[in-house]
Amino acid sequence: MTVAFYMDVHVHRAITAGLRLREVDVLTAQEDGHRTATDTRLLDRATELERVLFTQDEDLLAEAKHRQTIGIYFAGIVYAHQLGVTIGRCVQELELLALASESEEMINRVEYLPL
What type of residue is 42? Answer: L
Q: What is the pLDDT of residues 28-68, one digit of tens each?
A: 999 999 988 999 999 999 999 999 999 999 999 999 999 99
Per-residue pLDDT, 84: 83
72-88 confidence digits (pLDDT tens): 999 999 999 988 899 99
Q: Are strands 110-113 and 52-55 parallel, antiparallel or unpaired?
A: unpaired
Residue count (the chain): 115
- For residue 104, what pLDDT is reported? 94
- The gap between the terminal CA atoms of the chain, to the nearest Å, is 21
Q: In the structure, what pLDDT confidence band is assigned to residue 115 with cuts at 50, 70 and 90? A: confident
Number of domains within the chain: 1
pTM for the model stands at 0.94
DSSP 2: B
- Return the CATH number at 23: 3.40.50
Q: Which domain holds residue 37?
A: 5-113
